[in-house]
Amino acid sequence: MSFLSDTLARVKPSPTIAVSTLAAELKAAGKDVIGLGAGEPDFNTPENICAAAKAAIDAGKTKYTAPDGIAELKQAICDKLKRDNGLDYTPKQVSVGTGGKQILYNALMATLNPGDEVVIPAPYWVSYPDMVLLAGGEPVIAEASADNAYKLTADQLEAAITPNTKWFIFNSPSNPTGAGYTHDELKALTDVLMRHPHVWVMTDDMYEYLVYDDFEFVTPAQVEPGLYDRTLTVNGVSKAYAMTGWRIGYAAGPEQLIGAMRKIQSQSTSNPCSISQWAAVEALNGPQDYIAMNNEIFKRRRDMVVDMLNAAKGITCPTPEGAFYVYPSIAGCMGKTTPGGKLIETDEDFATALLEENGVAVVFGGAFGLSPNFRVSYATSDENLKTACERIQAFCAALT
């Protein structure tokens, strides 16, 4: 009998964390490595938010809280959902957790039984399939195509749904592609869901505020009010407010589901950090002007990275609408050999050789379920990005 659980054998460790760890190890060993793997803004948490946390400590707000969040934060979330998304929720329909990650996990744990299927568009955020597996369900991967800028079409969604489908996980703007669905593109998907009343939608709106040019963010329950009763709208403060370490995420949805998620949280982490919750109240209720300032920087970096990658031999890189990632195709590099003598048969081969031979750490597309690609996070300095892209260009130019 194995000491470790059978469930554990179903999942793999996060490949994005593995890349960051390898890059850090190489750096520590004195190698000149630029890491483009980070999934977090390189900005500091805004001062007003830090001040709210310090005030919470000074006021002794350092005790256990209600399992799924303090009343003030739940109200701030309801106000945000009304203000930004036109969605009506009461505090009883809101759950706050230790990051968006825990919220998604709680929802899956609360609802999945053996045999239940969860439709996940690929390329996907690395954690979705493994969370589904941990919760005892079956991930069903619906592949989007490069021709459609890595966005799922109505036909592709329709084809993935079976009588066993419980959830459709939707993420726009996307990690890893940065692709954002327009109102019409999302409506095409919600029309499909309206024909399948047994399927619920888990929408991960984590990158809502990180959108560029004139792109307008939309979320499923807003585009199709008919889905309100079977939608869990997930969001958080990690990305927009540079608060990844504070660990606050939230969701709004039907009361029964929120209650089930609360039960799980009460028996696992008890509650999200009290101090972080007060910081999140300030993030949602306080000034929002730094989001636009940060977005200007992100947009400038996105444009530079897209241009420089498209200038690399064998790489094609679409311009995404949001997040801080690009997801170039490297179909034109497959079957070639590096100066170090390595044959590139997969995108993992490409990423490994790029790191070892030219000192740039990216995450290979296979980790996100769609190849041959790699993900670049441009949440790092302009200077780092420029040097890294020059190295990628040199790497590609030297392939034979």
Sequence-distant (6+) residues with CB within 8 A of 1 are none
Residue nearest to ligand PLP (CB): 99
CB of 201 to ligand PLP, least distance (A): 15
Q: Is 83 exposed, middle or buried (0-12, 13-18, 19+ CB in 10 A)?
A: exposed
With contacts defined by CB under 6 A, name the span among 22-30, 99-107, 191-199, 383-391 that binds ligand PLP.
99-107
Asked if residue 68 binds ligand PLP (CB under 6 A), the reply is no
Give the one residue of 68, 117, 185, 204 binding ligand PLP; rule: CB under 6 A.
204
CB of 169 to ligand PLP, least distance (A): 10
CB of 236 to ligand PLP, least distance (A): 4
**What does DSSP say about strands 360-361 and 94-97: parallel, antiparallel, or unpaired?**
unpaired
Asked if residue 100 binds ligand PLP (CB under 6 A), the reply is yes
Give the one residue of 134, 206, 211, 354 binding ligand PLP; rule: CB under 6 A.
206
Asked if residue 369 binds ligand PLP (CB under 6 A), the reply is no
Q: Of 251, 244, 243, whose CA–CA distance to 283 is shortest?
A: 243
Asked if residue 238 binds ligand PLP (CB under 6 A), the reply is yes
Asked if residue 171 binds ligand PLP (CB under 6 A), the reply is yes
CB of 210 to ligand PLP, least distance (A): 11
Asked if residue 322 binds ligand PLP (CB under 6 A), the reply is no
Asked if residue 101 binds ligand PLP (CB under 6 A), the reply is yes
Q: In terms of CB distance, is 87 or 206 closer to ligand PLP?
A: 206
Q: Cβ of 113: how many Cβ atoms within 10 Å?
A: 10
Give the one residue of 106, 153, 175, 233 binding ligand PLP; rule: CB under 6 A.
175
Asked if residue 45 binds ligand PLP (CB under 6 A), the reply is no
Give the C-alpha separation, 13 to 22, whole Å. Answer: 14
Asked if residue 224 binds ligand PLP (CB under 6 A), the reply is no
CB of 316 to ligand PLP, least distance (A): 23
With contacts defined by CB under 6 A, name the span among 86-94, 218-226, 236-244, 253-261 that binds ligand PLP.
236-244
Number of residues near ligand PLP (by CB under 6 A): 13
Backbone angles phi, psi at 234, to 5 degrees: -105, 140
Q: Do 344 and 333 form a contact (C-beta atoms < 8 A)? A: yes
Asked if residue 20 binds ligand PLP (CB under 6 A), the reply is no
With contacts defined by CB under 6 A, name the span among 71-79, 98-106, 215-223, 266-274 that binds ligand PLP.
98-106
Site for ligand PLP in 106-165 (CB under 6 A): 125
Q: Of 348, 325, 346, whose CA–CA distance to 336 is shortest?
A: 346
Q: What is the dihedral of CA 107, 110, 116, 121, to 10 degrees?
A: 10
With contacts defined by CB under 6 A, name the span among 97-105, 250-258, 260-268, 337-345 that binds ligand PLP.
97-105
Strand partners, 119: 140, 168
Give the C-alpha separation, 220 to 226, whole Å. Answer: 10
Amino acid letter for position 371: S
Q: In terms of CB distance, is 127 or 338 closer to ligand PLP?
A: 127
With contacts defined by CB under 6 A, name the span among 25-33, 69-77, 95-103, 386-394 that binds ligand PLP.
95-103
Give the one residue of 37, 46, 99, 137 binding ligand PLP; rule: CB under 6 A.
99
CB of 308 to ligand PLP, least distance (A): 23
Chain residues that interact with ligand PLP, rule: CB under 6 A: 39, 99-101, 125, 171, 175, 204, 206, 236, 238, 244, 249
